């Protein structure tokens, strides 16, 4: 069965939906968005292999775009990306220390942002004359 008429013009095998190749029609039609169904010719159907979702691009078009192909192979691909950003702390994990007495910090073993600390680690030693006097009075009583 030939798909060409006497005038040498190609005759479509069928028409397919422009967005869903599984929907076909034997006659020209329009979809619900008023788009024309696409004609499918014998040589196009054979080239597509009948696989749903396959795309065929004319070799002349491929050549005009300068498309290069290669065999698929497994390899590591890297790409350096330079960008700007901001490193900030997690406010949910932040604790503030507000002593209710006058004094000063004598020792602070953890003195660097980003230091890893465990539960029970001494973060600072506070000296308060008011607390020292209160402690001495308590011990004498």
Give the lowest-confidence range in 50-59, 63-72, 80-89: 50-59
List, as own/partner pairs, every contact residues 78-82 make where C-beta atoms lie below 8 angstroms and the sequence separation is at least 24, other chains included: none
**Do the bridges between strand 24-25 and strand 14-16 make them parallel or antiparallel, or are there none, so unpaired?**
antiparallel
Nearest to 107 by CA among 124, 129, 132: 124
Question: What predicted TM-score, i.e. pTM, was given to this entire model?
Answer: 0.32
Q: What pLDDT digit, counting tens, does each position of 69-126 carry?
A: 888 899 998 999 999 988 787 788 777 878 888 999 999 888 787 788 889 999 889 9
Residues 6+ apart with CB under 8 A from 64: none
- Please report the DSSP string for 40-109 in residue order: E-HHHHHHHTT-TT-----HHHHHHHT------------------------GGG------SS--EEEE-S
């Amino acid at each position: 069965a030939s798909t060409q008429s006497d005038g040498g013009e190609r005759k479509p095998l069928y028409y397919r939906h422009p967005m869903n190749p599984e929907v076909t029609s034997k006659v020209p039609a329009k979809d619900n968005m008023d788009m024309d169904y696409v004609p499918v010719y014998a040589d196009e159907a054979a080239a597509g292999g009948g696989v749903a979702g396959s795309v065929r691009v004319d070799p002349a078009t491929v050549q005009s775009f300068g498309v290069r192909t290669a065999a698929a192979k497994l390899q590591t691909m890297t790409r350096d990306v330079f960008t700007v950003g901001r490193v900030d702390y997690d406010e949910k994990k932040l604790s503030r220390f507000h002593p209710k007495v006058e004094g000063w910090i004598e020792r602070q073993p953890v003195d660097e942002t980003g230091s890893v600390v465990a539960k029970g680690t001494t973060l600072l030693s506070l000296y308060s004359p008011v607390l020292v006097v209160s402690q001495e009075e308590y011990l004498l009583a």
